Amino acid sequence: MKLSIIQFDISWENRSASLGRIEHFLDRLEPATELVILPEMFTTGFSMKPGELSEPPYSDTFHWMLNVSLKGNFGICGSYIVKDNNNFFNRWIMVTPDSRVWNYDKRHLFTMSGEEKAFTRGTSKITFTYKDTRICPNICYDLRFPVWSRNMNDYDLLINSANWPEKRHDVWLTLLKARAVENQCFVAGANRVGIDGEGIRYRGDSLIISPKGKILARGAHDTECIVTADISLKELSEFRKKFPVLGDADNFTLLI
């Protein structure tokens, strides 16, 4: 599968400008891209104003994603602010050209920013299959909690859509590599660049990493760009057979 991460400067609390910026990059995707990955809160930036910025489920941004997916013949995913049953969620959504849809609500809300006061935390981990690739999504701060993303031999690709600040970029790189190695999976981390409305700087460093922890593709520092790499299920399967560490993993029950 060919993955493409769009690393861009999200327009602060401005959905139309952010979507327009993404469209600029969609026109520059490598041919045969099968999955496009966007950062966390790709329409607004990491804003704590869900009352002003949220959308109902399956509203404007969702229909934009459907149209983009159908036109480009690829899946597209990322998170944005959704109001559902009077609760606000940082919701990751993926759509496909044949109108399949998967949702994941961010489980670990970033308390240092007050996200837990503005949003409702998710209660369900999900995995799903697209193009024969089993995918597990998480969002930004989820990356710090390895039990949540523990691979029970039920996924091949871990996706993290993030707004990860520049001052913790070393942690970003370390944790993405750790999740790839410990879960024996490919990892795609999509981050933004620029300075948001709270004055927080982001330097990008979007990454696609192999199950052995090798960086397959990396976004430039402080630069809008597209990060593309091919991931091979055949190579993954051969590696897991040759070095079957998942078979020695501890069993546990996740209490939510």
C-alpha Rg value of the chain to the nearest Å = 17
Active-site hit among 34, 40, 55, 115: 40
- Does the annotation mark 167 as catalytic? no
Using alpha carbons, list the distances in angstroms from residue 84 to 50, 55, 197, 253. Answer: 11, 9, 25, 28
- CA end-to-end distance (rounded Å), the chain: 32
Active-site hit among 106, 115, 136, 185: 106
Contacts of residue 117, defined as CB under 8 A and 6 or more positions apart, other chains included, come to: 48
Measured distance CA(90)–CA(82) in Å, rounded: 7
CA-nearest of 203, 202, 231, 205 to 219 is 205
- Does the annotation mark 40 as catalytic? yes
Residue type, 114: G
DSSP state of 68: H
Residue with tokens 């998967």: 102
CA-nearest of 128, 105, 149 to 35 is 128
SS3 call for 81: strand
Active-site hit among 83, 140, 177, 185: 140
- Does the annotation mark 234 as catalytic? no
Measured distance CA(140)–CA(210) in Å, rounded: 19
Measured distance CA(75)–CA(83) in Å, rounded: 23
Q: Which residues are catalytic?
A: 40, 106, 140
